[in-house]
A and B are shown apart, each in its own frame.
Chain A
Amino acid sequence: MTVGLFDAFGALSRLGARAFPGSLGTLRREIRARLQRIPTRLNEYGYDEFGMHPQTLEDVLLLAAVLYRYWFRVETHGIERVPQGRVLLIANHAGQIALDALMIGTAMILEAEPPRVIRGMGEYWLPTVPWVNLFMTRTGSVVGTPKNCTDLLEMGEAVIAFPEGVRGMNKLVWERYQLKEFGHGFMRLALATRTPIVPIAVVGSEEQAPGIANLEALGRLFGMPAFPVTLTWPWLGPLGLVPLPVKYRIYFGEPMHFEGNPNDEDEAIAEQVDRVKEEIAGMLATGLATRPSIFW
């Protein structure tokens, strides 16, 4: 239930705001002001039909914004390229925990003009995980079924998807920035709904939690698709979840428009998917070549 974890979380973030009235208070006011500019259909209890709860989102965003500004010191390039109306954001995925999604979402709230809530497409097992399912839905994400994606796009939302899925999220440190196989679902949905695709390259996330092994069998035991082992996890317990303070650089590409039959053969779809993948790979290469260091 929302009470419990989220109340504790909200109380913590409010307590933080009281303890550091200058910085956190200002940050909270900034987040609220930007959230209030986003038109959202809410019912009389403050929820949208997908289960998003802007009040909870505000609490989560406060913590996310601290990570964004002071931990990862995120730098965005070309965020103004994200068009208004329905759009599919497609990015590389890494880092064991979906902080890349959180940072892109925070960027779209803090930096985009006008600010937008990004709707994530969650893995199918996430709804079965206690609290994680709540975190996911209350902050505007949904389980990544084609129907959910189509509905959100038809409502003019910005949907983010990571076609690498868990394959990318749990890649090992020596595989960093090598894009794994892309799923085809996003392209079929983009074709069916005639939605522009914005390719996104995230530089930094792939070193935040360097994976050295993936014990899939152990993961299955816990009903998870993976069980990553990093330099710090699980050795340091919950502390091992803290990511390295890498420098995040998020590159937004030009919107790509595709046309074709959404029910075409896999080969035809794969060609179009590859164009998106190449675009991301290109931006990743540029970002990696120009960064002075992993950490700044």
Chain B
Amino acid sequence: MSDLPAYDPERLFPFAVPRDVPAAPQPAPAAPAAAAATHRFLHPQGGMVPGERVLITGIAGSLGRLLTHRLRGRYGVLGVDRNGWPGHPADVQLHLIDLRKRRFEDIIRTERPDTIVHYAFVRHFRGDPEIRHEVNVLGTRRLLEYAAEYGVKRIVVLSSGYVYGALPDNPTFLDEEASLNVSRTYPAIRDLAEVDHLVLTFLWKHPEIATTLLRPVSMLGPNSHTAISRFLRARLVPMIVGFDPMMQFIHEEDVADAVVLAMEKGTRGVFNVVGPGAVPLSVAIRECGGTAVPLLEPVARVLFAQLFQLGLYHTPADAIDFLKYSCTLDGRRFVATTGFTPRHSLRSVFASIRRR
């Protein structure tokens, strides 16, 4: 990833630039000076200091692994996960447990991490919805309780940009103050909104802890198995006739960078994390090597519901709103606070999951 040029979303493309030719990479912009106004979103205790310890939940997942490789060496890294990570780096302590287990508390009590990165969420719908809810919501609640009890200094929780929901009257740039409407339109992932709310409450209740809630846009990458990447990796991808919403994407490595940046700057607050930009869904499908299949909405609703119930399709019918309306975010707060710049262009994001 280091050989990639920095991607500057603010660069100006004059319309006269031939549209099929990628623009020449621009020199990296100077890091914006931390303005006084952004201090509202930085915790006075500061960022991580080398040698501190960080606990990653969901460490065996793609993002957990990326994070581990970025952090080990400078910091002590330990992790918990339900799944194993064969061949994990020797200097990384791995605990094979579930956040719902009693032993999770023991780990925090005895290991005393300085920072926790929380990304142990069930994001698919294959299993029991009750277990999904328990892991996501109760797991987060416990994690926050233990963190407050055992003197954790920093918490970074990876929520999702989907919590705002896809609504027809969404502005193009939803900022962090926009209400979380996903439960209204897409109840199957309302637990994500619940997690988000839990962390928000915690944020205001515990000013002594630098709690950061990141809401990244749709994440894609060679290792990520997110709902959107499953959707776009398919050969035939459904669309709704007459709709083609703008969607923002970000590379998994850029999300990992954003997490590290948040920890090292010592951010506090809620941040949307936006990647290199937005394209219509149809362009994303084409660029990922799939074929768009336009369906009439009523047909799509019945089809999704039936196939989902039979376990033949991974996406429930409620997700159809995301195929009609945009849920695109305003990422300026995070950029202004941390100087974050995604390194992967849109082209590179799509290429990362493109079918061979």
Residues of chain A whose beta carbon lies under 8 Å from any beta carbon of chain B: 1-5, 35-36, 38-47, 49-51, 54-55, 124-125, 127-131, 133-134, 137, 142-143, 145-148, 151
Contacts and interface: CB of A to CB of B under 8 A. Distances in A.
A1 B243 contact: yes
B280 A51 contact: yes
Nearest to B348: A44
A148 B175 CA distance: 11
A49 B330 CA distance: 10
A119 B175 CA distance: 20
Given A1-B244, A134-B243, A151-B173, 14 more contacts: A3-B292, A3-B294, A39-B15, A43-B276, A43-B346, A47-B277, A47-B279, A51-B280, A128-B168, A130-B240, A130-B243, A145-B171, A147-B175, A151-B330
A203 B345 CA distance: 47
A143 B246 contact: no
A133 B323 CA distance: 13
Contacts of B15: 35-36, 38-40, 42, 54
Interface in B216-275: 239-244, 246
16 contacts: A1-B282, A36-B16, A39-B12, A42-B17, A43-B277, A44-B23, A45-B19, A45-B287, A47-B246, A51-B280, A51-B326, A54-B15, A124-B168, A129-B242, A130-B242, A145-B171
Contacts of A125: 168
Interface in B6-48: 10-17, 19, 22-23
Q: List 3 tightest A-B contacts by C-beta distance, closest first.
A: A130-B242, A147-B171, A127-B168
A137 B246 contact: yes
A4 B292 CA distance: 12
Interface residues of B, number: 46
A269 to B, nearest CB: 22
Contacts of A146: 171
B282 A3 contact: yes
A55 B347 CA distance: 19
Given A43-B276, A43-B346, A47-B280, A133 B246 contact: no
B169 interface: yes
Contacts of B242: 1, 5, 129-131, 133-134
Nearest to B175: A147
Contacts of B283: 45, 47
A43 B12 CA distance: 9
B13 A43 contact: yes
A55 B19 contact: yes
A129 B241 CA distance: 11
B278 A49 contact: yes
A40 B181 CA distance: 32
Contacts of A40: 13-15
B306 interface: no
A43 to B, nearest CB: 4
B104 interface: no
A55 B280 CA distance: 14
B202 interface: no
Contacts of A44: 22-23, 345-347
A36 B14 CA distance: 7
A1 B241 contact: yes
B325 interface: yes
B172 A39 contact: no
Contact of B14 (A1, A39, A128, A145): A39
User: Looking at B15, B277, B347, which has the most chain A CB atoms within 10 Å of its CB?
Assistant: B15
A51 B278 contact: yes
B36 to A, nearest CB: 20
Given A51-B246, A151-B171, A46 B19 contact: yes
Best-surrounded residue of A41, A45, A143 (most CB of chain B within 10 A)? A45
Contacts of B277: 43, 47, 49
B171 A148 contact: yes
Nearest to B283: A45
B173 to A, nearest CB: 5
A1 B242 CA distance: 5
Contacts of B281: 1
Q: Which of B13, B171, B240 has the most CB of A within 10 A?
A: B171
A50 B172 contact: yes
Interface string B148-180: 000000000000000000001111111100100
B51 to A, nearest CB: 41
